[in-house]
């Protein structure tokens, strides 16, 4: 089954993480190791058909291998490293409404709990789930079937996921007042305001938590504190803009929220090992030599 899934991905991927003609489905492929890449993952599930990748966020680090799936429950800035190539995966962006509707149909909504789900979890795919994902991707072979069949197969994939070891986390993710959903909303709120000065008190108010509770639950989910999460977002966006070129280091530092170019240079070098200009020049050279790498725009491998 994994061979069929990998073959379908091979037939249709255009660039890593590019959206396909099927809503909420994207495909990723790479044949050579890539520079560890900073990406912003949205809530999604990555089904790995071939190869393996490592994702790191703060204290959290996971490897998803062929035959496994990687669930991301929040907007999460991660460093992605392909540890085994060739690599092929199908990525499903999570649709909260579709998942909630399915839970209502199954009468499995249940009460919200105070448990905190990690921001990323890996688990093996069951044969039934791998089959459903494969048939979903293979709809790209018959575009006329996508409209009538894609929503049905996507619903089957979600059903199989709820019956998998990820089911409990997905149930909590879909509930509006669970701890998991609160942290997801806080992470999204920070992403929308990453250039602004933010305080723990303001972030805690959004989460309807005490500052101590926010810190505990946020770190359990993302592997880092809220303010370090914001800093990682700033540096990641700055790095993407530096690779793209067109602006000076000072202009980019100001655009992502730094008041001091000196502080930006210091924190950038601490994060990436080189001053901004040197790091960007090195990455541009690497990207020009390896067109299978993830694009700087933030698409998921």
Instruction: Write out pLDDT tens, residues 51-89.
Output: 999 999 988 899 999 999 999 999 999 999 999 999 999
pLDDT value of position 225: 95
Q: Name which residue leads in pLDDT, 5 or 287.
A: 5
- Find all residues with CB under 8 Å of 134, minimum gap 6, and list them: 1, 4, 5, 8
**Residue 31 sits in a domain of what CATH number?**
2.60.120.280
Domain membership flag for residue 179: no
- Is 224:59 a contact under the CB 8 Å cutoff? yes
Domain membership flag for residue 33: yes
- Verify that 22 and 138 share a domain, yes or no: yes
Tally of helices (H runs) and strands (E runs) in the chain: 12, 8
Last residue of a domain, one of 166, 183, 199: 166
Domain membership flag for residue 141: yes
For residue 149, what are the CA distances in angstroms to 23, 79, 136, 139, 156?
12, 35, 8, 8, 11
In the block, residue with structure tokens 């914001």: 230
- Verify that 37 and 140 share a domain, yes or no: yes
Residue range 214-239: mean pLDDT, rounded: 95
- Verify that 31 and 133 share a domain, yes or no: yes
Please write the tens of the pLDDT for every residue from 8-22: 999 998 765 567 899
pLDDT band at 295 (very low <50, low <70, confident <90, very high): very low
Domain membership flag for residue 202: no
pLDDT value of position 266: 96
Average pLDDT, the chain: 90
**Token pair in block for residue 184:** 């997801």
Residue 299 in this model has a pLDDT that exceeds 60: no
Residue 161 in this model has a pLDDT that exceeds 80: yes
Query: DSSP assignment, residue 177?
Result: T
Domain tally, the chain? 2
pLDDT value of position 97: 87
Proportion of the chain above pLDDT 70, given as a percent: 92
Alpha helices in the chain (DSSP H): 2-12, 96-106, 127-138, 146-162, 167-174, 179-192, 200-207, 211-222, 226-244, 249-255, 261-272, 276-289
CA separation for the pair 79, 81 (Å, rounded): 7
CA separation for the pair 256, 241 (Å, rounded): 10
Beta bridge partners of 54: 63, 81
Domain membership flag for residue 135: yes
Residue range of the domain that includes 249 = 228-289
pLDDT value of position 297: 39
pLDDT value of position 20: 87
Residue 28 in this model has a pLDDT that exceeds 90: yes
Domain membership flag for residue 181: no
**Residue 253 sits in a domain of what CATH number?**
1.10.10.60
Last residue of a domain, one of 135, 151, 166: 166
- Verify that 36 and 158 share a domain, yes or no: yes
Domain membership flag for residue 298: no
pLDDT value of position 293: 39
For residue 36, what are the CA distances in angstroms to 55, 233, 271, 293?
9, 16, 12, 9
Domain membership flag for residue 172: no
**Token pair in block for residue 277:** 């200009």
Proportion of the chain above pLDDT 90, given as a percent: 73
pLDDT band at 177 (very low <50, low <70, confident <90, very high): confident
- CA nearest 120: which of 81, 78, 89, 164? 78
pLDDT value of position 196: 96
Residue 197 in this model has a pLDDT that exceeds 60: yes
């Amino acid at each position: 089954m994994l061979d069929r899934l990998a073959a379908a991905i091979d037939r249709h991927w255009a660039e890593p993480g590019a959206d396909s003609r099927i809503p909420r489905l994207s495909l990723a492929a790479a044949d050579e190791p890539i520079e560890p890449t900073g990406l912003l993952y949205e809530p999604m599930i990555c089904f790995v058909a071939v190869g393996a990748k490592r994702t790191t966020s703060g204290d959290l680090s996971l490897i998803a291998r062929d035959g496994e799936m990687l669930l991301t429950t929040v907007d999460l800035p991660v460093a992605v490293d392909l540890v085994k190539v060739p690599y092929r995966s199908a990525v499903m962006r999570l649709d909260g409404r579709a998942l909630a509707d399915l839970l209502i149909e199954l009468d499995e909504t249940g009460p919200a709990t105070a448990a905190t789900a990690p921001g990323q979890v890996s688990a093996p795919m069951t044969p039934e789930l791998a089959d459903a994902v494969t048939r979903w991707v293979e709809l790209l072979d018959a575009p006329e079937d996508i409209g009538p069949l894609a929503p049905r197969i996507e619903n089957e994939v979600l059903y199989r996921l709820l019956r998998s070891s990820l089911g409990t986390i997905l149930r909590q993710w879909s509930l509006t007042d669970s701890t998991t959903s609160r942290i997801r909303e806080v992470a999204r709120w920070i992403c929308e305001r990453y250039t602004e000065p933010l305080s723990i008190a303001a972030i805690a108010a959004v989460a309807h938590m005490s500052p101590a509770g926010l810190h505990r639950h946020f770190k359990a989910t993302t592997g880092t504190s809220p303010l370090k999460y914001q800093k990682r977002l700033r540096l990641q966006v700055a790095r993407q803009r530096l690779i793209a070129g067109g602006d000076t280091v000072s202009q980019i530092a100001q655009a992502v929220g730094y008041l001091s170019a000196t502080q930006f240079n210091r924190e950038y070098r601490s994060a990436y090992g080189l001053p901004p200009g040197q790091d960007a020049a090195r990455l541009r050279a690497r990207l020009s030599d390896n067109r299978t790498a993830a694009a700087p725009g933030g698409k998921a491998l």
